[in-house]
A and B are shown apart, each in its own frame.
Chain A
Amino acid sequence: DADVTQTPRNRITKTGKRIMLECSQTKGHDRMYWYRQDPGLGLRLIYYSFDVKDINKGEISDGYSVSRQAQAKFSLSLESAIPNQTALYFCATATGISSYNEQFFGPGTRLTVL
């Protein structure tokens, strides 16, 4: 079984809808991250969490919110989806004092907003 899982893997939704992307990990890591990937832009950080009570905005948090329900679960919500949020979304985890230990990525969720 995969260590970092994301659900759903693919999602098509309409403008204005609320949508939640979920991430679960079995690695026992404290740190979790949400990124979005757009062609030609690489990965950009949306939110990150160093433990259940510590959540931080990344460089592109507008229009998104997150919830760290437990050490193993980190959800990303789009309160009112818009077409320019169409992207590939990745969850990642890491451990250690420094965040520059290796980050382990999930398989991604492809989101299309019509």
Chain B
Amino acid sequence: AQSVTQPDIHITVSEGASLELRCNYSYGATPYLFWYVQSPGQGLQLLLKYFSGDTLVQGIKGFEAEFKRSQSSFNLRKPSVHWSDAAEYFCAVGAMGGNKLVFGAGTILRVKS
């Protein structure tokens, strides 16, 4: 069965600084990988997804993520964080041929001015 680990429960960055949120997955084959964002009081919104092909994936709101098979990682990055990026971020993995997603525990991002 697949699983997802997000090692950082909370991260605080200064506005304008770069951001990297870590995600490690466990799955024996090529996974389907996702990053979702949950703003306060809102549902989840998809930032980006990886199925195959180019390992660097661009998403909405200036986010990108890189799939590294050798490290079983799919880290989310943004070069310059804005105060509006403060939210909770979830990494999720799905199995090829499966029909369910498994979510990580989430990382809460705080942005200080």
Binding site for B on A (CB under 8 A): 4, 35, 40-45, 48, 50, 56, 58, 90, 92, 99-100, 102-103, 105-108
Contacts and interface: CB of A to CB of B under 8 A. Distances in A.
A110 to B, nearest CB: 10
B9 interface: yes
A105 B44 contact: yes
Interface in B77-101: 90, 94, 98-101
Given A42-B106, A58-B100, A100-B101, 5 more contacts: A42-B90, A42-B103, A100-B32, A103-B101, A105-B45
B42 A99 contact: no
B41 A107 contact: yes
The 4 tightest CB contacts between A and B, nearest first, are A105-B43, A42-B103, A43-B103, A99-B99
B51 A107 contact: no
Given A40-B9, A42-B105, A43-B90, A99 B100 contact: yes
Contacts of B94: 99-100
Interface of B: 4, 6, 9, 32, 34, 41-46, 49, 51, 90, 94, 98-101, 103-106
B93 to A, nearest CB: 10
Q: Which of A4, A44, A105, A106 has the most CB of B within 10 A?
A: A105
A51 B81 CA distance: 40
B49 A99 contact: no
